[in-house]
Structure 1
């Protein structure tokens, strides 16, 4: 059944593509100049005389020759373009010839007198200039109200997956600009999913230099696949926006489904003002992609804002292990888990001149999320022992955040630039959780035996404040390539959280009782935590060219961080008696210094770099159960040498070879260094390890890419291998009578992973059908200390023969195919299939070896009917299989919408949408960890309907001009 939808659509579209025609012929010719000299690599296109849509395209060979085979009999517009020459245009009519040879087609060089002719005739659907491909947006038809993402799907050589990720010429696109500016921030999808397609006049795809190369003037050989969207003149000024309101009948115990959103934007040559507001109960968590519409503007983010200088701007190569919520605006559309109610809104103002750029914004978001979860976990222990945990829970999350941001950039003169960035967040959140856990044990696949249960309710209240300020100064010298940069940063985090924990825990097989077990049987605690963190950073960078092809880069990084944490645990059943064994107070001071240099060789596309950095990390900490007691010192000094090697080689003709050797450092988090037990789930206790060392990850990778702009064949491959020294892993100690698991971080060496990726794409029929194939393989091993403990004479001891190092080997194979069919303006189809197989092998218990299968199939069909009526249907089928756990889950999701564009200006839309018509939606995940396999199912918003009305508040009128081809 799962393939019927795709099969039916494929049959329909194959019929459209390959309908029988009476005759076929071959068209050939040569592009030459006025002296009959060949013009190699000229762009040649065949267009339909009816609407100027592209039928076929290609490039001339070294002799200027081109051939189009198997053409249907009829009339075509032939267009030949070459840089510096007037485009050649001719109407081609075929008679009965099997081969129509046009001979030499002469292109005239551009002169001042002919410039007007060039402007009038240069609007080709597609122009190829070196590695840049420029598309004329008007030549690729999309329905009114479509986004840029819909337009990109129509362009030859560009692919958009179901999540909106972009690939062009076989490579991932990580940067989208609008009129050459970073218009929507760091995520390309912010522009493609929100800008209107009818606002775009041209789409340019090219390999851009990195921001580090632009700053220093030194080509580092790295290329960033970039898409630039050129706006129509009428969209560069005035106001525009959109308002949508939708409602639907009751579903999932909610009386009415609703979705309201709106935005308004007013631009001129210097100023941009944007406002956005949304509210819904349809699982559009936070600010959805479709509502981001121009909100942040052109100055809110620059890729060279990274103030932590390093090897060619590649970052710190160091992570600190502590996680804090991002200060940036949440723009995710949600993960489709549970049931959410959302409210969000904000304003953004930009001021943009040649020397001064200012961006400031305020944003508020609130999310209420209900989760009902079923979870099963199988864990392997020594002696063919298996722990089976079944967990059911109900959870209600409420979160609200206020965010303020500012970015100011001032060009002091032609050589100096100053950038000031400030971001702040105030957040309030609370969570209520009720869960019931059962832990069973099975030895050598014997029947399961119940060991323990836990009935727990948690109530958490949290208040958060965060602030980050950065000043960045850049100086260019007159000598090309010489540059200097300095930065200073201050960050503040203040979090206060209070947890009320009530839990009833029963241990059915326990024959002995100690204080730990007795205290865990009934818990009624108040756990409050206060965190204050201040961090100061300073960075310097200097680049000096020497010799003719060599450059020397030197950088220095400094960071000083102060953490103060107080955690108090009080027993509410005993007059709020403080539980000293679970309480903690600590102060940590972190000092980080790194000094490094690298040498770069750059000549004729070959770019080699080699560098070495020495870094020192000092932890000066103090802790105890209570701040009133004498604090116990923890002092650690970590010194590390960090090498870095890079290779980038432009082999010409759109072939690239690259490689690197890098080392990353993971510093233990302050949480992992504290030797105090933490109990938020009584059956899973955590404790720190003050003797942790930094972890090192070393990686070597090599890649190759190729793109043929004439045939649009693309190929991309990558292989890598990495290995770990002193990797931070979490060892497990399991009590034999209660099955309570205590985890603690430890250092283990020997973990490694190896893998590769391959992508191959080619047109089945140019401008009509494209097929992309991809495959991925990875294999790795990791280690986890596992031991079983028991109580002997009042002392906890390790059971002999059970203190072992479990080795987990994972093999992952992933393969997929994507078919894009755009045969006519009134029909498009996008289909993809993906298979993922994961093999998990455990040394501690081979009987738990497992294979996980995940299959995903998706088809998107779009139809245009007369009178501006459109139909969009999406079918997504997911299958999850794990025979070891007896888990099989199929999730078929069918969505469809019928909409009508109304009004002379086509500014309004009425849409009827049906989501999950089969009423089968559920959130499913399966995961294999260090020594366990886990599956999870969460009740999720299923079948519902919305009737919505949309009005585009266009403040200017778009004008369509007929293109002249003669």
Structure 2
């Protein structure tokens, strides 16, 4: 019997020892005080001899498998919450342990006692996706643009333009306020990444929607950059200067040109007061501001990057951005930007014109030099006298002046027989100036109720255009149609006033009614005079090409919306009725008076599936008025081969837009999936009616042998697009695999007319151009800090169009395959070798080459703190930088080849400087002392103060 007891005791001790070796699973959940789970929280288990860290999943749950200890501590932290430390004691059973939910309280001070094991890379919110800059490390001194290149769903092209989830980013803000009027590259290419806390991509519905919460229409995609609190006081910036030369002349028959660049930026912050100054001078196609003209990019944290824009640009620019708080109630911010650019573009365009019986191909060569001068001034004043009133006043001014000299030739031939119809050369001089003035006032009042709100937005502005054109034609074959020497003067201005009024009334705890009214009135006055040069040298007015035209466009729009809000979801359902009036008068035509009425629902729905998943859908309707050139009933012969005549009887378009978005981020795996889809259907689409006139057309000699255009309203237009990105990271994002896809389909409408050469009867047929664009890309990135940062990529794109009017010999299927390898290798701590190789394979382009573009540089950092950099760059090493683009619509297809900046070398010196502090230096006790500024400044700490972390 004793042997049996001894045997049982031995078995029990063995089982206990065996359990101690295998351990048990410890499960838990992290929530906030409202019992909402907190995915992405960091949980660390500490024993006397070891520690292990994990992250909560999408449901806020965590598990530690095989825990052997019976006593341990848990340290739990989540961004925005106070950390918690719990002491846990377990019994000696072998059952899994399920802890009670661990509740975190919202933090009022910044964390500085707990070390985060891994930066939380992404936060998915209702209309915002936030990326932590620390999760995407780059080299010291690199611009924030290099961080954006790494985030899933974002794409930065060679010119520095950014798309996110397939949509163009239209504006940039810094700490929630417009930076340099929203000019994107001023921030992304000049702000150093080490000064940035995070970047946010925001679907923005406008200031008024942000105040009222009633969202409708198609949102803008805005980039908001938040600065670290440690950069709140002090200054930082850099200056660069570089010199080099072309390897071969950019233009045949000319000498090699010197290449140079000089630029600098300075950011000076003192709490709420922030000043930024930018300047740039170069002839390397690198732009500082975007005024709608060509621009380049400067990557890699310094000058000397490849320029892949059409033409060769000499650029001079400077800008100032200012922000400050005038007392406790007024915040002001604004900017001034100036640029003076000269661009030379040499291009060849092949245009295939669709026709019922006379298909033609026009081959155009052009050498164009543009001198562009731009000014832009923006200013905003926000006044908050108390917690219920808000006033924002925003005056603005811009000026665009262009002086163009162009020479070229046109050869028009039959597509089927290659018979030349017209052959002429031309010289053209164009000078235009366009000042624009605007004022916007937004007022919002929140009543002392639960959501009752009133807001009004008033706007007024004037845009002017003064233009002088002097086209001169020299016909080699074919009969002249347009006057051989024209002097065209156009003076026009448009005055616009508008108002948007919104009133919101709560009808239950979670629901509201909104009544809104929108009024817009634009008045356009245009005076166009065309003079011609007679054989005796006198200048005479040409009445058939001159006109005074005035038109008014008035919109009255009334809407009623119902809004319902819950934690998991919210939605807006509404109806909108809109009337539009278009009336015009001209010297030589009867007055027009057109009215239209549109009625449409609108809806906005957001479902927060979890803290890491959101789904949203949006539907809206909006009108689009015809332009001045589409309305004016006078022929424009500034292009002799393609005269244009407006139609004063056009109705405004009405667009119905439906879109959906789905965003998902898995905290456990780090996988990212973003997607969106949109569909647009247009009533009364304004389309071109292309009329091909025979070479012998005696009814109007000026139209003989031309391809004229006028405009009509047409039904049947719609378009659809879709985008997705899937990102799979490994080893804390050291390795990333991206799949990115785009698709778009357009059902375009146009009318093709042909005039018979015998009886001059006009035959018109509707052409439906179905255009499909598909693009699929794959990228693999390796990112090991201070060792390598490289990416291999491949993108295949198909651009295909089918016309209901079949045309033989016209290319309508363009394809391209782009293979790329770019990266930086960091050697011996202070050396960097950078490479950027792209191989493009074109299919379907006439005469296209398949260029190899290779840009490279070697860089050395030196001086204290690596403040200085010396870089030797070689751009377009193989000298094959060529650009091909194609355009397709219902009337024609085009292929364009333009010159680009070729091979050159550049040696650049860059010096960075920095002196910052998290809080203002104290000046002793008493009224003269300076403490931490209030929150909301440029990277200022939140209310309550606390230390800051860089």
**TM-score (normalizing by structure 1):** 0.79
User: Could you say which residue in structure 2 is the equivalent of 1:602?
Assistant: 565
Instruction: From the superposition, tell whether residues 280 and 591 of structure 1 become closer, same or farther in structure 2 (CA, over 3 Å).
Output: same
User: Could you say which residue in structure 1 is the equivalent of 2:542?
Assistant: 579
Instruction: From the superposition, tell whether residues 117 and 529 of structure 1 become closer, same or farther in structure 2 (CA, over 3 Å).
Output: closer
User: Could you say which residue in structure 1 is the equivalent of 2:258?
Assistant: 256
Instruction: From the superposition, tell whether residues 619 and 85 of structure 1 become closer, same or farther in structure 2 (CA, over 3 Å).
Output: closer
Instruction: From the superposition, tell whether residues 241 and 29 of structure 1 become closer, same or farther in structure 2 (CA, over 3 Å).
Output: farther
Which of 411, 422, 430 matches 1:452? Answer: 422
For the Cα contact (< 8 Å) 2:59–2:610, is it kept in 1?
Answer: no
User: Could you say which residue in structure 2 is the equivalent of 1:865?
Assistant: 827
Deviation at 1:58, TM superposition (A): 6.6
User: Could you say which residue in structure 2 is the equivalent of 1:14?
Assistant: none
Q: Counterparts of 2:387 and 2:55 in 1: how far apart (Å)?
A: 44
Q: Counterparts of 2:480 and 2:61 in 1: how far apart (Å)?
A: 89
For the Cα contact (< 8 Å) 1:287–1:333, is it kept in 2?
Answer: no
User: Could you say which residue in structure 2 is the equivalent of 1:463?
Assistant: 433
Matched, 1:843 2:789: no
Instruction: From the superposition, tell whether residues 552 and 887 of structure 1 become closer, same or farther in structure 2 (CA, over 3 Å).
Output: farther
Where 1:905 maps in the other structure, the secondary structure is helix
Instruction: From the superposition, tell whether residues 751 and 106 of structure 1 become closer, same or farther in structure 2 (CA, over 3 Å).
Output: closer
User: Could you say which residue in structure 1 is the equivalent of 2:941?
Assistant: none
User: Could you say which residue in structure 2 is the equivalent of 1:913?
Assistant: 873
Instruction: From the superposition, tell whether residues 55 and 728 of structure 1 become closer, same or farther in structure 2 (CA, over 3 Å).
Output: farther
User: Could you say which residue in structure 1 is the equivalent of 2:555?
Assistant: 592
User: Could you say which residue in structure 1 is the equivalent of 2:311?
Assistant: 338
Matched, 1:733 2:691: yes
User: Could you say which residue in structure 1 is the equivalent of 2:937?
Assistant: none
Which moved further from structure 2: 547-556 or 783-792? Answer: 783-792
Deviation at 1:41, TM superposition (A): 4.8
Which of 730, 740, 746 matches 1:780? Answer: 746
For the Cα contact (< 8 Å) 2:137–2:785, is it kept in 1?
Answer: no
Q: Counterparts of 1:810 and 1:169 in 2: how far apart (Å)?
A: 21
User: Could you say which residue in structure 1 is the equivalent of 2:339?
Assistant: 365
User: Could you say which residue in structure 2 is the equivalent of 1:270?
Assistant: 272
Question: After superposition, where does 1:159-170 map in structure 2 within 5 Å?
Answer: 161-162=156-157
Where 2:591 maps in the other structure, the secondary structure is strand
User: Could you say which residue in structure 2 is the equivalent of 1:246?
Assistant: 242
User: Could you say which residue in structure 1 is the equivalent of 2:352?
Assistant: 378
Instruction: From the superposition, tell whether residues 923 and 822 of structure 1 become closer, same or farther in structure 2 (CA, over 3 Å).
Output: same
Matched, 1:724 2:687: no
Deviation at 1:469, TM superposition (A): 1.2
For the Cα contact (< 8 Å) 1:811–1:840, is it kept in 2?
Answer: yes
Which of 447, 454, 457 matches 1:484? Answer: 454
User: Could you say which residue in structure 2 is the equivalent of 1:126?
Assistant: 119
User: Could you say which residue in structure 2 is the equivalent of 1:619?
Assistant: 582
For the Cα contact (< 8 Å) 1:785–1:804, is it kept in 2?
Answer: yes
Instruction: From the superposition, tell whether residues 227 and 364 of structure 1 become closer, same or farther in structure 2 (CA, over 3 Å).
Output: closer
Higher RCO (Cα < 8 Å, 6 or more apart): 2
CA-to-partner distance for each residue in 1:572-605, whole Å, 9 max, x for gaps? 2252111100011112233322222111223342
For the Cα contact (< 8 Å) 2:782–2:791, is it kept in 1?
Answer: yes
CA-to-partner distance for each residue in 1:373-429, whole Å, 9 max, x for gaps? 11111222214x431111111111111123332211111222112111111123332
Deviation at 1:723, TM superposition (A): 2.8
Q: Counterparts of 2:296 and 2:481 in 1: how far apart (Å)?
A: 51
Which of 515, 526, 530 matches 2:491? Answer: 530
Instruction: From the superposition, tell whether residues 851 and 149 of structure 1 become closer, same or farther in structure 2 (CA, over 3 Å).
Output: same
Where 2:289 maps in the other structure, the secondary structure is coil
Q: Counterparts of 2:754 and 2:837 in 1: how far apart (Å)?
A: 48
User: Could you say which residue in structure 2 is the equivalent of 1:876?
Assistant: 838
User: Could you say which residue in structure 2 is the equivalent of 1:216?
Assistant: 212
Matched, 1:64 2:62: yes
Deviation at 1:126, TM superposition (A): 2.1
Q: Counterparts of 2:654 and 2:818 in 1: how far apart (Å)?
A: 36
User: Could you say which residue in structure 1 is the equivalent of 2:233?
Assistant: 237
User: Could you say which residue in structure 2 is the equivalent of 1:435?
Assistant: 408
Q: Counterparts of 2:221 and 2:43 in 1: how far apart (Å)?
A: 24
CA-to-partner distance for each residue in 1:166-224, whole Å, 9 max, x for gaps? 78999998887655655566466654432212224x43769899765651367999999
Q: Counterparts of 1:745 and 1:169 in 2: how far apart (Å)?
A: 34
Instruction: From the superposition, tell whether residues 60 and 476 of structure 1 become closer, same or farther in structure 2 (CA, over 3 Å).
Output: closer
Which of 537, 546, 553 matches 2:514? Answer: 553
CA-to-partner distance for each residue in 1:335-379, whole Å, 9 max, x for gaps? 611111111113333222541112243322101111111111122
Deviation at 1:949, TM superposition (A): 0.7
Q: Counterparts of 1:225 and 1:709 in 2: how far apart (Å)?
A: 25
Instruction: From the superposition, tell whether residues 803 and 552 of structure 1 become closer, same or farther in structure 2 (CA, over 3 Å).
Output: same
User: Could you say which residue in structure 2 is the equivalent of 1:281?
Assistant: 283
Q: Counterparts of 2:688 and 2:599 in 1: how far apart (Å)?
A: 26
**TM-score (normalizing by structure 2):** 0.80
Deviation at 1:526, TM superposition (A): 0.7
- Aligned pairs, how many? 845
For the Cα contact (< 8 Å) 2:442–2:458, is it kept in 1?
Answer: yes
Q: Counterparts of 1:481 and 1:197 in 2: how far apart (Å)?
A: 40
Q: Counterparts of 1:170 and 1:66 in 2: how far apart (Å)?
A: 40
Matched, 1:700 2:658: yes
Which of 370, 383, 395 matches 1:397? Answer: 370
Instruction: From the superposition, tell whether residues 178 and 492 of structure 1 become closer, same or farther in structure 2 (CA, over 3 Å).
Output: closer
Deviation at 1:494, TM superposition (A): 2.3
CA-to-partner distance for each residue in 1:718-748, whole Å, 9 max, x for gaps? 3444333221100011012253111000111
Instruction: From the superposition, tell whether residues 291 and 337 of structure 1 become closer, same or farther in structure 2 (CA, over 3 Å).
Output: closer
Q: Counterparts of 2:284 and 2:586 in 1: how far apart (Å)?
A: 47
User: Could you say which residue in structure 1 is the equivalent of 2:699?
Assistant: none
Where 2:113 maps in the other structure, the secondary structure is helix
For the Cα contact (< 8 Å) 1:470–1:489, is it kept in 2?
Answer: yes
Which moved further from structure 2: 403-412 or 649-658? Answer: 649-658
User: Could you say which residue in structure 2 is the equivalent of 1:314?
Assistant: none
Deviation at 1:42, TM superposition (A): 6.3
For the Cα contact (< 8 Å) 2:518–2:556, is it kept in 1?
Answer: yes
Q: Counterparts of 2:149 and 2:75 in 1: how far apart (Å)?
A: 23
Q: Counterparts of 2:364 and 2:595 in 1: how far apart (Å)?
A: 42
Which of 374, 384, 387 matches 1:411? Answer: 384
Which moved further from structure 2: 811-820 or 124-133? Answer: 124-133
For the Cα contact (< 8 Å) 1:615–1:641, is it kept in 2?
Answer: yes
Where 1:781 maps in the other structure, the secondary structure is strand
